[in-house]
Amino acid sequence: MYKQAICDAESRGLAVILLGDYTLGYIENKRNSRDIMKKIALYPGTFDPITHGHVNIIQRGLSLFDEIIVAVSVSAGKNPLFPLKERIDIVQQVFSHSPRIQVISFSGLLVDLMHEQNIKIILRGIRGSSDLEYEFQLANMNQAMKPDIETVFLKAAPQYANVSSSIVREIIKMGKERSLGDLSLFVPEAVIDAFQQLEKS
């Protein structure tokens, strides 16, 4: 019966996502005819800046999904360090050799973006218990507004469990020039280059 349900779903153009013994959901992807059977997830965030932790989640997500769309939030209310265009450019540089990763921007509700892109899966990273309750609340709210949305959580790799964009921003704002080299422990080289350019402008 279980196999028959999967066959029925696939015959209707639905991509079945399996993780272990659990079916996470179906993706009915109408973006174009050749993408119908692709498993696509959306990974949203401010990415101010993108960290090694973000990169690790995305790279591991590619083992579950055919394509990941990185959605960079405008987040004007957060007074970001890097302008939106800069954040998009940085993410594109980091994944310039990854054709399975697309980068877009968005403002407003995430569920509206999901509807526009016709994507049903949100990918999120969990660093620890401090993230867990907040992320569960977001997932429940998103599903309440759009019941066919599922959220897939990946636990942060141990070496990145304490890395966050906010900590990186504090280092950038308060650190001396010699401390920028230390940032390579937390962020890709493209972030350091972008900050140096920001300082010159």
pLDDT-derived band of residue 79, with 50, 70 and 90 as boundaries? Answer: confident
Residue 9, pLDDT above cutoff 80: no
Pair of tokens at residue 40: 């696509």
The amino acid at residue 148 is D
Give the active site residues.
54, 78, 127, 165
CATH T-level assignment (fold) for domain 37-200: Rossmann fold (3.40.50)
Say what the pLDDT of residue 1 is: 43
How far apart, in whole angstroms, are the C-alpha atoms of residue 26 and residue 40?
Answer: 10
| pLDDT tens-place string over residues 87-96 | 999 999 999 9
Tokens of 60: 């591991």
Interatomic CA distance for residues 43 and 27, integer angstroms = 15
Supply 68's token pair. 């990941």
